[in-house]
Amino acid sequence: MSYFRRTRPTFTRIVTWIAAGVFIAFLLAVLFSVVLTAFATKWGASWLPEGLTTGWFAEAIDTPGLVNSIVVTFQVSFAVVAIALIAGVPAGYILARKNFPSRSALMLLLLLPVILPSLTYAVQLAALMYRIGIGGSLLAVIVVNLVPTVPLVILVTVPFVEQISPDVERAARVFGADSGRLFIHVLVPLLVPGIVAAALLAFVRTLAAFDLTFFVSSAKSQTLVVSIFGKLSDPGGPPIMLTAAMTVFYMLFALVGLIVSARFSNPAQTLGRSAA
């Protein structure tokens, strides 16, 4: 009957659950406020808007530059993810398999662009982009977003590679597989969960990137998050309800990425199965 014995909650557990509940409630309240504002006809000093409408979403689509910002957002996101995977997955494999003296130092250097606030190196990167003549272009937006994304893909790939037994590679080489065939036909299928996890994390990070994109983009190469910031920072800009409707579009894109990530990739679970 010990299976059904209920443990008494400790003070630490109670405080943790209360803090988590307060945080989640606050987060949901903020999101609900944005969505409600996007549907409001007018919102004064009262707790609720005077009426509801879907007209702001249609007006948001007609806002000059919004559709272009959405297109640019997906162009940048898919280009960054593709390049980061092509460069990051092989680099992650090398770091996982090769043991050299400066490996720990290199891993630390790769971690810096991921954990440091992007503003610490955004200005210098922007100055470099304009100095070489590509500032304000779509190429510059893609290049600067690769700086934190490629290390992120490498760091995600390394633990997945480490869970694959080297005996698998030795067996493939015994049967005549060269390095190219070994990587494409043996390792890549085994690394699919890690590749999917890295791709989705890179996509969500690029979708939310503001500092790096803001400093190097122009009116034709700005992403949706930069476009929304421009509308919000303009004192004579569109009504707050219209800006909220634009923000809802951005939230939906991010939410789709998170849902797909949760549905098709669970890194912790995958690593646990591999270890077993």
DSSP string, 204-250: HHHHH--HHHHHHB-TTT--HHHHHHHHHH-TTSS-HHHHHHHHHHH
The pLDDT of residue 275: 40
| Residue given tokens 């634009």 in the structure block | 246
The pLDDT of residue 130: 93
Distant-in-sequence, close-in-space partners of 95: CB < 8 Å, separation ≥ 6: 103, 106, 107, 154, 158
Residue 61 corresponds to which tokens in the numbers above? Answer: 């689509």
The pLDDT of residue 83: 95
Distance (Å, whole) CA 266 – CA 196: 9
The pLDDT of residue 236: 66
Q: Which domains does the chain have, with CATH numbers?
A: 9-53 (no CATH), 63-275 (1.10.3720.10)
The pLDDT of residue 138: 93
Q: Which amino acid is at 90?
A: P
Residue 62, burial from CB neighbour count under 10 angstroms (0-12, 13-18, 19+)? exposed
Distance (Å, whole) CA 232 – CA 49: 20
**For residues 224, 246, 20 and 5, what is the CA-based torsion angle, rounded to 10 degrees?**
-100
DSSP string for 130-183: HHTT-TBSHHHHHHHHHHHHHHHHHHHHHHHHHTS-HHHHHHHHHTT--HHHII
Task: List per-residue pLDDT tens for the chain, 276 residues long.
Answer: 444 455 566 778 888 889 999 999 998 888 888 888 888 887 766 777 777 888 888 887 877 777 888 889 889 999 999 999 999 999 888 888 887 778 788 888 888 888 888 888 888 999 999 999 998 899 999 999 999 999 999 988 988 888 888 888 788 777 777 777 777 878 888 888 888 888 888 888 888 888 889 999 988 888 888 888 877 776 666 777 888 888 888 788 777 766 766 665 554 444 444 344
